[in-house]
Structure 1
Amino acid sequence: MLSARNHKIRQLLLGLSLGIPVAFATAASGEAAQRDTDVLLAINEGEASLGILDPRTGRELAKVVEGAITGHEVAASADGRLAYVPIYGDSSVGEPGSDGQELVVIDIASRKVVNRLDFGHGVRPHCVLLNPHDGMLYVTTEVDHTVTVIDPGTLKIVDVIPTGQSESHMLALSHDGRFGYTSNVGPGTVSVLDIKARSLVTIIPVSRTTQRISISMDDKMVFTADQTKPRLAVIDTATNSVKTWIPLPSPGYGSTPTHDGRWLLVAMQKTSQVAVIDLKTLQVVRTIDVPPAPHEILISPTDDVAYVSCSRSGKIAAIRLSDWTVRLIDGGNRVDGLAWAQSHLFS
């Protein structure tokens, strides 16, 4: 395995501390090709705010206070005009604390909260995804052991899907929109959901504790990270069972595939690295050093840059996929959930 050199990160951090612009002069061609109007959305847990960032320059365009404690994840509307932020509460999964019960809607152009959905009781809403096939929002609602289906046009709850497990923290949707998969942290399982039927298909045992979830671009494999051992579970979606394990240098966390289906990137918090897995061989081929506590990974629409929220440092690492070089973007306090908003609003 190859490792990106530590001195690159130290140089970047030094530059940021001195106020040097975060963008490299030699920007990635994909970054240059991104529309000037696209924005990167980043949740700042420690500030209960949403950061709106220019992904090309790393400049913060705005910071919107959510008005509640606190969001962890974010999704953008199909037209890029709105951001949806579930308000989870003041603790982490499986820990005592408040149970959030709202979904906050933020207008990206006006940079303010414009609507709220009240779930009616504390549900710890966490992961939010927009399903492009039916236009609905799907939100994990941990306390109720469900995924809640919301019509973004009316901001009304239209259905719930049972997960059959507690701590259904994160959700992945198949690219054909037919199935959903939740990572159930404490139980160490994955729930398989039939999205059209709004029903639970099965529960897959994985480990004593698992974290995060992603799905391959061909919908054949689902990935979740064992928290008891440094390994990644590979679930065969045809059989809904663990097919194999991928050894990791340290326990994994968030993961996501590149759009071309070639690589799977896995955040590893303990070593402050991102592992790169070849999806043909299912082996780690490279590790990349990033700032402390990488959480979530988002691939740009151009498939040229991976954005990694590094919570403990308040940085977002932008990894250029053509050569694995890293540049750093300033995030907020405990930056976590990331999303991309493609719109015409910032011209």
Structure 2
Amino acid sequence: MCRTSSLAVFIAAAFLALAPPGQTLPAADHATLLVVNQGDHNLSFIDPASGKQTLAVDVGGITGHEVVATPDGRMALVPVYGDSGVGKPGTDGQLVTVVNLNQRKVSGTIDFGHGVRPHCAVFDKHRNVIYITTELDQSISIVNPETLKIVGSIPTGQAQSHMLVLSHDGRFGYTANVGPGTVSVLDLAAKKTVAVIPISGETQRISISNDDKKVFTADQKKPQLAVIDTASNKVAGWISLPAVGYGTAPTQDGRWLLVALRATHQVAVVDLEASKVTRTIDVPDTPTEILVRPDGKVAYVSCGSKVAAIDLGSWAVTGLIQAGKNADGLAWAQ
């Protein structure tokens, strides 16, 4: 299911036995990998150095899907979506659970006052605000991270605005609108929708290239990835995939795009210069979200009850981290 829309090093001691013979694994700096577990309604704290869950914090009686950590490492926000999938009948969440990362416990909630199915939270460093997709209001809501108050919203003009990514220059936001099969382009300063781009009968997830020139979203009807030209706000082309794609993430050098293939339990590696898949990597069941670690050396992929760690130098899975049931959203907390 969202996004933001990238620091340490590698997974060491616990994964030495899993590393290829002769491979030396670098040590890990202090940081925490956060994992939202839909099935357990909790947030896992993962120690990247040991590759082990150190704690799981209950985030509410109904399901959260995504998580964002503030850059200062103080807190994480987990929007509590509800007990159903996007566009399906079920409860309509109206809360965001706030977790104190130092105390490692729930410290409060943000209440929208009515059911909105809040989903993807993204930190905007340019404005020091947090955006949260609020599907049933067809908007993204704006939250002040100091006061935890809702201070505004931006309409998306579409239903099921599920995931969000921001341009690195802070000018635009892009939402993947699942059921309509569109992408909304948001002018963040003007707080308005400037374009709605048709993609397919249904689309999922969204990411942006490091140079802000391309946005990627996965067609859910065909095994292909839409490539949006951000200068024209039009689909510039398609990248063929071995299976229907889901979560995507570019590598730090901007050369590769990683794509989760849920049906085949793989991650596809796309060469962005050639616009084609150059390899696939086997991972556990149902790969969903991909997070490239800020140091650019490792990608984490949520897969069922595990998180796969992929060495981006060797393209090998070097560790499997036990998380909770239906692991989904990922965040890096420093």
TM-score norm. by structure 2 comes to: 0.93
1:9-20 → structure 2 map (5 Å cutoff): none
What letter is aligned with 1:323?
Answer: S
Range that drifts further, 61-70 or 45-54 = 61-70
Residue number among 287, 306, 320 corresponding to 2:299 in the alignment? 306
Is 1:260 aligned to 2:256, yes or no? no
Is 1:321 aligned to 2:312, yes or no? yes
What does residue 85 of structure 1 align with?
78
Measured in 1, the distance between the counterparts of 2:204 and 2:25 equals: 30
What does residue 334 of structure 1 align with?
326
What does residue 7 of structure 2 align with?
none
Residue number among 103, 120, 129 corresponding to 1:127 in the alignment? 120
Is 1:243 aligned to 2:236, yes or no? yes
The RMSD of aligned alpha carbons is 1.4
Contact 2:60–2:80 (8 Å) recurs in 1: no
Contact 2:16–2:25 (8 Å) recurs in 1: no
Measured in 2, the distance between the counterparts of 1:122 and 1:31 equals: 46
Offset, 1:22: 4.7
Is 1:228 aligned to 2:199, yes or no? no
Identity %: 58
Offset, 1:187: 0.3
What does residue 162 of structure 2 align with?
169
Is 1:150 aligned to 2:153, yes or no? no
Contact 2:161–2:177 (8 Å) recurs in 1: yes
* SS state at 1:24 partner: helix
What does residue 23 of structure 1 align with?
15
Offset, 1:111: 1.6
Measured in 2, the distance between the counterparts of 1:105 and 1:219 equals: 30
Measured in 2, the distance between the counterparts of 1:271 and 1:228 equals: 15
Offset, 1:30: 7.8
Offset, 1:109: 2.2
What letter is aligned with 2:323?
Answer: G
1:45-60 → structure 2 map (5 Å cutoff): 45-60=38-53
Deviations 1:110-134 (A, max 9, x none): 1210011100100000000001111
Measured in 1, the distance between the counterparts of 2:87 and 2:160 equals: 7
What does residue 111 of structure 2 align with?
118
What letter is aligned with 1:272?
Answer: H
What does residue 287 of structure 1 align with?
280
Offset, 1:233: 0.2
* SS state at 2:221 partner: coil
Deviations 1:146-166 (A, max 9, x none): 000100100111111000000
Contact 2:57–2:104 (8 Å) recurs in 1: yes
The number of aligned residues is 318
Measured in 1, the distance between the counterparts of 2:85 and 2:309 equals: 26
* SS state at 2:246 partner: coil
Measured in 2, the distance between the counterparts of 1:52 and 1:308 equals: 15
What letter is aligned with 2:326?
Answer: R
Measured in 2, the distance between the counterparts of 1:153 and 1:93 equals: 30
Offset, 1:103: 0.8
* SS state at 2:39 partner: helix
Measured in 2, the distance between the counterparts of 1:29 and 1:216 equals: 30
What does residue 10 of structure 1 align with?
none
* SS state at 2:197 partner: strand
Contact 1:22–1:328 (8 Å) recurs in 2: no
Deviations 1:93-122 (A, max 9, x none): 011000000011101221210011100100
* SS state at 1:225 partner: strand
**Over 6 Å off, 4+ runs:** 27-30
